Structure 1
Amino acid sequence: MIKEKIESYFNRFPTLRVLFFFDEHKDFEEEVKALDLADIHIEFWENNPFILKCKLTQDLKSEKVLLYLPIKQPNTQDAFQEFPLMGLWLANKELQLDHVGAFMEDFHLQRHQKSLVSKYMGALKYAGVQEVCAPILSASHFEEPKLQRGLVSAFLKFKAIESWSILVAKLLTLSTDKKPTELDKVVKKITELNFEDVVIKRIYEVTGFSIQSITQASLLDVARSILYNSLMQTITEKKTDDPYSKFKIDDTTQLTRLNQMLQEVDRNPTLKPKFETLLELVSNDIKGSKLIEVYGDDANFAEYNTEMIWDIVSQVQSHLVSAPSDIIKRLETLSLQPNVGATVKQALKYLIQVAKMHDYIGSIKTYILDTPEAYVHHYTDRLYKIDSNYRRAILSYKSLDSSDIPQHIAMEAIHSELNTSYDRHTDLLNREWLKCLNQFKFDYANLNLPKQYNFYATEIAPADQKVVVVISDALRYEAGYELLSEMHGDTKNTAEMRYMLASIPSKTNIGMAQLLPGNEKLFNDGDIKIDGVSSASTYRSKILEMFNPNSKAIQYGTLDGLGRPEIREIFKNDVVYVYHDVIDATGDTRASERRTFDAVEDAVFELKKFVKLLHASYNVAKVFVTADHGFLYHDKKIEEKDQEKLPNATMMQSHNRYFVTSESSDKELSYSIPLSATTQFKDDVFVTIPFSVNRYNKGGVGHQFVHGGGSLQELVIPVIESSRKREDVTQKVNPILINKGGYRVVSNILKLNILQENEVSRVEKERNIKVGLYKESQLVSNEEELLLNFTSESPSERLFRVELILSAEAAREPFLKLKLFDTDDKLNPIIEERVQNMTIIPTDF
């Protein structure tokens, strides 16, 4: 064994000349004398230091030498100084036959560190442990606290030495297994090295909860304390009926360290999901519902966990109709929580839209108004929002994963009530609207409202610049308003929206014909002609050219197949009509009508991009976006028993919302209107529509998505005018800080929630801001740049979450300044707040 070790030393250290071998008790004397070493000279100490020193430095200076010394190894300062070969010894190496000695030799540790190596050698002998602890395996860094942290890092299978916050969090996650085999292994290793008390102390320092031993049960108690205090740390009052009050941490320093751990875990993508699973497990013990019961649902909780949110939802769900405005505020507050799960977030989004729809419906004082103008004004001012909220609620509901929603949340009942309320509203509204319109004989000519059939004469003919008209099939008013909101994000444009009244029947070929110019328009049994030319899509360019030779009509889809030079040529015309069909193409097909609201989202997205492209790339100064008609959509299936029968009379045309006859119809629960009353057609024919939102029983078609009738949703269509000219912006949207409590840097990080106060609109434009931490005027953190350009009415959808990381040079500053600047003005902050730096509490204690 000695021979291999000696040869190993000289092989590992090619420059080694003299290998010292101290053997006080002469245990290896005979073995050394019997050694046969190639190219290695063996020299014996015979208490002849002067002669030996000369021999080693002169006669054997070119030899590799094993120096055998049957004396005690010098191990005190005096012995070192008295040893005559000290210089040679320090310049060379010593043969170590034990693991401790070899380890110290390998890592160049000093002799006084031998006891520490001996104490932990049981773990240090493993290559995996050495790899993790590598940064501290040197004479200058080899200290017991660092070594203990490194060993625990290795035991917990980290690749590098982690902070005690991360180590404690990882140790806690091992308690989730039914059979904590991995935890037992780690604890055994710590116990065998006799520093369990140290780890217990670290657990207390990190979490603020004291345990006597490291067991699954005790660690789960620590996790319960963490969950409790993460929820309750902003509530100072301790109520006697709080069954979990034993977990309460009152010391602010301990809370700071706990928050530090939680932030470090939040930034660790591997550990975070496991830790969340742990907290989810102990939430069965620390029941959020009980905390709400004891402290009230309006208490100043630091956070709401999933159970607490579901509990509040359970309490408010029965009041969605009776007290929607209060519930909206409550649900919005919950949705602003930073760590809300996907299902909870989607459920809150759905319920907020439901509550908003009920709120708007509940605010309607009467459905009976005096004039058609009053109905249209009321609809375009407020009532269209009911359709918007219904659409958004339906989209959110379709995205819900019902399997993750507790059974006591009656989502099906809530959704059923949503549909019932919306059905009742659309029926009552349109019954009274059509009754009023009937009193005015449906004579559009006598209504003080903009009509679709005047569009070209009033909007296009007077234009003194290039104009593009985008006609999006079935883009109803509420969808147009959403498009307008999205377009406000483009600061280089100014966009505003008006409305027009579409013709009855509200069907595609009629609406498209009314939007075209013409002196004589004929229905012609459905084969509509304008000045003798068919108004079918193939001939629309010809009709436009009769009024302006530099005109063009083209399908939106056709543009996809053209190159940019060809498209640029098209938009050099004075007038271009672009026909866009996404909503109607989806909704008007029975197989896909349930995707109508998805199609609205797609249409808005496409149109927003297209309008911006027209302005930016094709030099179009003015763009109009409008529609041929709107639509009605009800998400529940329309049963056959709820459909009206079509008459047996001879009809020129019929569909599920209208039929056309040569004579007036006397069908009950219907209105028979001269076609010429709402259009520019001169034909002596009549169109019959239902009293309200009823459908006719028409085979082979869908009945949830419909148009052709006279409802406000079908007739009121948007006219969006977008111009490539900048108006002076007098107001920008404002940022608001919504963090609870004071602002504190914990573990070098400040977490912020920044809310865009209002949605971007025509009067409030987007704002670019920069956020950072400052020491007086010096930036001492990363600087985050945010674009405040959200268009949503919901605050939870206008929220930014920001992390500012404090730089090393400012880590010891007790107080800093948080500053938010408009990027156009870096001298005057919009917001300035004092921030306490809690990082001065040592992270490793």
Structure 2
Amino acid sequence: MNTSQQKIYNYFEREPELKVLFIFNDVFLADELSVVEWKAGYRYVDFKGDWFTTKYKLDTEWADEKVILYFHQPSPLQIKSLQEKFPLLDLLVANMEYHHQDYAAYMQQYGLPSNMTLFVEKNIQQLQSDRMLRLLQSHFNDGSISEDVAVRAFLTSYLQQQQRVLDWDYIILRILLQGCSSERSKQTDFYSRLKAAPMVKAALDERLKSIFGCTVDLNTEAKVERLIQVLKYNSIVQNLAPVNADNYKTNRIADSLALQQMNRILELALSSSKTAAALQEVMIELGSDIHDDELIKWYGTEADYYFLPDQLCIPILRTLMEQSIVTEPQKVINRLEELIIKHSGNEDLNIVMDYNLLVARFYEGALSLGSLTLNTPNEYLECYRNVYYLTDQLYRLSIENYYKISPSIVLYETIQKVKYALDIYYAKLCNRINLEWIHCVKESGGLSSVHALRQENFYENQIKPIQKKVVVIISDALRYEVAQELIGALARRKHIAHLNTAIAMLPTETKFCKPALLPHRELRLYSEVDGEQNMGVDNRILNSTVKRTEQVDAYRTGAICIDYDEVAKYDQVKNREIFKHPLVYVMHDTIDDKSHGATAKEVVNSCRDAINELEMLVHKIHETYNVTEVYITADHGFLFNDQQFEEKDKHKVTEPALENKTRYYLTTTGNKVADIAKFPLAEVSGMNAENIYVAVPEGTNRLAAKSGGYMFTHGGASLQEIIIPIIISRQEREDVKQPVGVMVLDRNLSIQASRLRFKLLQTDAVSMDMKARIIHVALYNNDKAVTPVKEFILDSTDVLLDNRKVLVDLTLNQNVDVKVLQLKVYDITDELNPLIKENVTNNTLIGNDFDF
């Protein structure tokens, strides 16, 4: 039972003859009474205008009940001119009208300050409603009640919020967002209540004018169109000196404190995806008279806009893609980093910007490669391990992001052109690198000149010496650059992993390379009945898991082979039994199985799946199945181009071939063939195969073959196919890694228009020696945070410093009248001792110097 209901019961209890209690024009009270339950014998009626029916029911079916009758009009006893139009006047005179508590008694009861007298007197009815009492109770209790609090409580209630009294930023934001046509029903109710409270409306008008220079217009349907236009314009151009051509400059707000509050409202809207989307919607709907294309025309695409709604962001992105991404990638990266902070948070545009960042980083790396002609094959291996692999990785990641972009986005045609150019550039670059690589190998006397572990010696050199339990995961087509990304994922765990390399056998084909990773004494080329070639391991073709288990068990008693799919579907009990064996080979086939004949999207997604599967598998093997040593390797890598290969682009094999695939053929002739490199099979594979040659394209060309895909392929001797990873992961019982470091890149930090933007640098990559760190960042006035405290996870595994930058954007969330604030960065495990403490100049206090 609420307070108002109890007062009504008291009327009837004090006056036993009372039959009808009349209530007039009290929206707050009506809202409360319409939802409460009434005792037996009481009836609440919201009068809708049917005088005859109401009078009839009062005399008949309601005759024995106590009736509370609510009217949406002033009392005719208070306004005599209404009496002639009130057919129930005789009944009103014979009964009673509900009256609120006297305002003076109310002020005394709640200890209100004397400067609230007029406000309380004019709004006593609403102030006594249960809704208002609930909102204001905490302020009564702690003595913080004021007219401003009461005004905000009214507005909070009008906005259908009941938990607490909202501050002005929230109130104004909600009023603005109600301007959307989809919110008109809420808006209508809000303004009907606001009109009935003149003092509340006057306070709202004063607040809005102090920020926007205007207020709501009750004579228009949208009410807030002018406010939205001022907000949109100033949010965008406040950093810029006005130009004469700017036809909108009469909307400029010069007062720095007004801009500060406007920016707080903007940041509040952008702080959640829901309100950010609503802001975007209302700006499009009501701010359309501020034309984005005109702003671009007047100020240009490179201007330092404070905020970038989608329609402004789009032409800037288009210009970057059309004019700069290939030739000035660093400029594009810097601009994109700014856009990511400043734009409105549209998810589709976020994906576009992520894609362009990857493309720009690809071109940045490609343009810095220098000469592709090196002196020895070993230099190519070293260069690929440290530099070249990034071009493959960034290309793959860009394709992965490209297929997340919605084809309906307005920039899609431009994006397609960027991708088409990237596909061509990458294909040519890959081909050039591998032409130089193969030429160097031939000049150096073949692959025997390469000083690296040979795949066929993997077991003998790496696994055989280990005297404890060990797991070997052979991930089919786990290319070196994918393994590099996997190492980054593994680095986030407490166990220690290292990435080494080996040289795969030729042809880089599963049926040859995968069995060679098992223990063996002899590898021999076999010719099968259908004309296909195969490889015998100790005179057996290991074409089943059972045969592979028999093979490894012959070299280490109790060793087994198992498919990853089996491990994935088993429960912990079964897997614990599996990993009790002294040596377990796990055959993981996600990339190769899903990529042959697949679309480009399926290829890159298979790489993502493989990384996730292997990271989780290694973690479980260490943590759950108690194996301290895990090796991950591959049978071969792959070439990947998201392009269609026409028949004219495929190299025709014109000499007799024992076997012909898209990246190699086997032949008995060593005769020279244009654009083809030939190697004695016995020298490049470890197979017993006299007078057999493996022929591969010198670059990345594909051979015409009866079967096999061309977009994703392997079998040749390119660096991408022949360099295979060897990851060694060892469990560490205790986490001895140190957290990565962090530093501020910018100097002379200053707040402009209530906003501080700067870059932090994660000084170390997350690795097997350094672990991730979580930090809190905020601006402080003494020890009080005056911006939201933002959390960042410093977990980048990128070896490039530039890619470990963290963009920080802090906006003041309260008025601050001091000249110097402190930027503090804390590790979340130690909130007492900041990692970083820097002074920041508060230029918000300095007025806008632009000359109007």
TM category, shorter: 0.7 to 0.9
Would you say the 8 A contact 1:306–1:341 is kept in 2? yes
- 2:450 maps to what in 1? 447
1:99 and 1:770 map into 2 onto residues whose CA distance is 65
Offset at 1:386?
0.7
For residue 473 of structure 2, the aligned residue among 466, 470, 489 is 470
Residue 607 of structure 2 aligns to a residue in which SS?
helix
Question: What is the one-letter code of the residue matched to 1:468?
Answer: V
1:100 and 1:813 map into 2 onto residues whose CA distance is 59
For residue 311 of structure 2, the aligned residue among 307, 312, 315 is 307
- 1:713 maps to what in 2? 720
Quick check: 1:633 aligned with 2:629? Answer: no
Which has the larger displacement, 8-17 or 251-260? 8-17
Residue 671 of structure 1 aligns to a residue in which SS?
strand
Q: 1:669 to 1:265 in 2, by over 3 A?
A: closer
Which has the larger displacement, 769-778 or 108-117? 108-117
Offset at 1:638?
1.6
Question: What is the one-letter code of the residue matched to 2:251?
Answer: F
Q: 1:831 to 1:234 in 2, by over 3 A?
A: farther
2:598 and 2:518 map into 1 onto residues whose CA distance is 31
Residue 688 of structure 1 aligns to a residue in which SS?
strand
1:680 and 1:104 map into 2 onto residues whose CA distance is 100
Q: 1:101 to 1:207 in 2, by over 3 A?
A: farther
Q: 1:99 to 1:427 in 2, by over 3 A?
A: farther
Question: What is the one-letter code of the residue matched to 1:568?
Answer: R
Offset at 1:179?
12
- Map 1:501-520 onto structure 2 (within 5 A): 501-520=503-522
Question: What is the one-letter code of the residue matched to 1:519?
Answer: R
Q: 1:135 to 1:688 in 2, by over 3 A?
A: same
Would you say the 8 A contact 2:681–2:687 is kept in 1? yes
- Map 1:95-110 onto structure 2 (within 5 A): 102-105=98-101
- Map 1:76-87 onto structure 2 (within 5 A): none
Offset at 1:403?
1.6
Q: Please, what is the CA RMSD of the aligned residues?
A: 4.7
- 2:660 maps to what in 1? 654
Q: 1:600 to 1:219 in 2, by over 3 A?
A: same
Would you say the 8 A contact 2:559–2:584 is kept in 1? yes
Q: 1:329 to 1:750 in 2, by over 3 A?
A: closer
Would you say the 8 A contact 2:759–2:805 is kept in 1? no
For residue 678 of structure 2, the aligned residue among 655, 659, 672 is 672
Which has the larger displacement, 735-744 or 304-313? 735-744
- 1:623 maps to what in 2? 630
Which has the larger displacement, 599-608 or 307-316? 307-316
Would you say the 8 A contact 1:481–1:497 is kept in 2? yes
CA offsets, 1:210-243, max 9 Å, x none?
67876458732221221222234445x4444433
CA offsets, 1:563-600, max 9 Å, x none?
43443343334432221110000112x25565111100
Residue 504 of structure 1 aligns to a residue in which SS?
coil
Question: What is the one-letter code of the residue matched to 1:687?
Answer: V
1:222 and 1:440 map into 2 onto residues whose CA distance is 74
Quick check: 1:415 aligned with 2:414? Answer: no
- 1:613 maps to what in 2? 620
Question: What is the one-letter code of the residue matched to 1:306?
Answer: D
- 2:57 maps to what in 1? none
2:353 and 2:425 map into 1 onto residues whose CA distance is 19
For residue 689 of structure 1, the aligned residue among 690, 696, 700 is 696
- 2:38 maps to what in 1? none
Quick check: 1:261 aligned with 2:269? Answer: no
Offset at 1:253?
2.1
Q: 1:663 to 1:99 in 2, by over 3 A?
A: farther
1:220 and 1:290 map into 2 onto residues whose CA distance is 19
- 1:766 maps to what in 2? 772
1:410 and 1:813 map into 2 onto residues whose CA distance is 47
Residue 104 of structure 1 aligns to a residue in which SS?
coil
CA offsets, 1:534-566, max 9 Å, x none?
333432233333333353322222223444344
Question: What is the one-letter code of the residue matched to 1:714?
Answer: E
- 1:46 maps to what in 2? none
2:465 and 2:183 map into 1 onto residues whose CA distance is 81
- Structure 1: unaligned runs, 5 residues or longer: 1-6, 20-94, 841-845
- 1:576 maps to what in 2? 584
Would you say the 8 A contact 2:516–2:537 is kept in 1? no
Q: 1:260 to 1:791 in 2, by over 3 A?
A: same
- 2:246 maps to what in 1? 242
Offset at 1:477?
0.9
Quick check: 1:543 aligned with 2:548? Answer: no
Offset at 1:429?
1.9
- Map 1:277-676 onto structure 2 (within 5 A): 277-281=281-285, 284-288=288-292, 290-291=294-295, 294-295=298-299, 297=301, 299-317=303-321, 318-337=323-342, 339-406=344-411, 410-442=414-446, 444-490=447-493, 492-525=494-527, 526-536=533-543, 537-588=545-596, 590-591=597-598, 594-647=601-654, 649=656, 651-664=657-670, 668-676=674-682
Would you say the 8 A contact 1:772–1:782 is kept in 2? yes
* TM-score, structure 1 as length reference: 0.76
Residue 771 of structure 2 aligns to a residue in which SS?
coil
Offset at 1:508?
0.5
2:274 and 2:187 map into 1 onto residues whose CA distance is 18
Would you say the 8 A contact 1:736–1:754 is kept in 2? yes
2:713 and 2:182 map into 1 onto residues whose CA distance is 57
Q: 1:781 to 1:274 in 2, by over 3 A?
A: closer
Residue 399 of structure 1 aligns to a residue in which SS?
coil
Question: What is the one-letter code of the residue matched to 2:421?
Answer: E
Would you say the 8 A contact 1:759–1:789 is kept in 2? yes
Residue 741 of structure 2 aligns to a residue in which SS?
coil
Q: 1:662 to 1:353 in 2, by over 3 A?
A: same
1:601 and 1:544 map into 2 onto residues whose CA distance is 30
Offset at 1:829?
2.0
1:339 and 1:100 map into 2 onto residues whose CA distance is 57
Question: What is the one-letter code of the residue matched to 1:225?
Answer: V
Which has the larger displacement, 472-481 or 325-334? 325-334
Q: 1:621 to 1:660 in 2, by over 3 A?
A: same
1:154 and 1:186 map into 2 onto residues whose CA distance is 9
Would you say the 8 A contact 1:658–1:708 is kept in 2? yes
- Map 1:39-58 onto structure 2 (within 5 A): none
* TM-score, structure 2 as length reference: 0.75
2:777 and 2:438 map into 1 onto residues whose CA distance is 54
CA offsets, 1:661-716, max 9 Å, x none?
34446654323332112011111222222232222233343221111111111111
2:243 and 2:160 map into 1 onto residues whose CA distance is 42
- Structure 2: unaligned runs, 5 residues or longer: 1-5, 19-90, 109-115, 528-532, 846-852
1:339 and 1:753 map into 2 onto residues whose CA distance is 20
Question: What is the one-letter code of the residue matched to 1:711?
Answer: S
CA offsets, 1:60-90, max 9 Å, x none?
xxxxxxxxxxxxxxxxxxxxxxxxxxxxxxx
2:507 and 2:480 map into 1 onto residues whose CA distance is 17
Offset at 1:461?
2.5
Would you say the 8 A contact 2:400–2:601 is kept in 1? no
For residue 233 of structure 2, the aligned residue among 225, 228, 232 is 228
Quick check: 1:734 aligned with 2:739? Answer: no
Would you say the 8 A contact 1:205–1:257 is kept in 2? no
